[in-house]
Structure 1
Amino acid sequence: MDTHKVITSWKGKMKFESDNPSGDIITMDSGPDNGGEGSGLRPKAMMLSSLAGCTGLDVASLIEKMKLDVEDFRIDTEGDLTEEHPKTYHTVRVDYHFYGKNLDEKKLERAVNLSVDKYCGVMVMFRQFSKVETNIHYHHTK
């Protein structure tokens, strides 16, 4: 069984630093409206980044394995928060954007679906508390 451990340290006011098993450190802070200085990432928004990063790593790996011709790839992730505290994401939209001259739409859709349905553990976790909608957008370049 794998276990991940991170250590998060208070740096004053509303600012925290958190390490990662990779050794990298991120800074989290709230905005001025919540007593912070806005000098770091917001924890809830980082969850959206984690979701995009997880599925993105899957799709990038599959693009390579399938030898697909993709010039660029972007994931736009939006989460709608509940009105009442504790505010949680009730709906999340994940939009995959692929750019290239020779996009194989069928194989790219398969790569996304494999990530969404089989490989991305963060996606599975999100589905425990929110509705997750996914869309794929193809941008054919000349």
Structure 2
Amino acid sequence: MDAVVKWVEGDTFIGRSHSGHNVVFDAGKDSATPSPMEMVLMSAGCCSSVDVVSILKKARQIVHGVEVKLSAERAENAPRVFTKMNLHFVVTGEKVAENHVARAVQLSAEKYCSVALMLEKTVEITHSFEVVESV
């Protein structure tokens, strides 16, 4: 895998992935685009969400929505790395079994989510979830 990041101006950069997708990053405080650290946080959430959705589908759960609410703490001084991160999943569907959601979250955390598994070597990562019945 490879990628390229090109400086545009100020604190704005454009990343281009090996697959040809572009992402705009901005480290400025008043930016309309995510910072690199925000992208890392959202990448962990997306990676794990892909797993959770896939596992729940395979378990034949009727899922209408999955949202992961991410929170993180960073070190006070440079380098301002993440020290803690929580991924809280909100799964909406029809009669979705909590044990299936718990298993999906656990499998993602322990086996499948490469982003979170890489980060957990230096970040304390926790997971939580709730199931909301669709009406």
Length-normalised TM-score, structure 2: 0.93
- Stretches of structure 1 that go unaligned for 5 or more consecutive residues are none
Q: Of Structure 1 and Structure 2, which has the larger fraction of its residues in strand?
A: 2
Q: Aligned equivalents of 1:66 and 1:50: distance in 2? A: 24
Structure 1 residue identity aligned to 2:17 = N
Cα deviation code 1:6-26 (max 9, x no counterpart):
100010111100011331101
RMSD: 1.3
- Helix, strand or coil for the counterpart of 1:11? strand
CA contact (8 A) 2:105 2:127 kept: no
- Stretches of structure 2 that go unaligned for 5 or more consecutive residues are none
Aligned-pair CA distance for 1:30? 2.1
The question of 1:99 aligning with 2:96 is answered no
Structure 1 residue identity aligned to 2:66 = F
State the partner residue of 1:81: 74
Alignment map for 1:1-142 (pairs within 5 Å): 4-32=1-29, 38-142=31-135
Give the count of matched residue pairs. 135
Structure 2 residue identity aligned to 1:86 = P
> Which stretch shifts more, 74-83 or 132-141?
132-141
* Moved beyond 4 Å, runs of 4+: none
- Helix, strand or coil for the counterpart of 1:7? strand
- Helix, strand or coil for the counterpart of 1:85? coil
- Helix, strand or coil for the counterpart of 1:44? helix
- Helix, strand or coil for the counterpart of 2:50? helix
Length-normalised TM-score, structure 1: 0.89
Aligned-pair CA distance for 1:101? 2.7
CA contact (8 A) 1:70 1:103 kept: yes
Aligned-pair CA distance for 1:118? 0.8
Structure 2 residue identity aligned to 1:109 = A
Aligned-pair CA distance for 1:55? 0.7
Aligned-pair CA distance for 1:141? 2.9
Structure 1 residue identity aligned to 2:9 = G
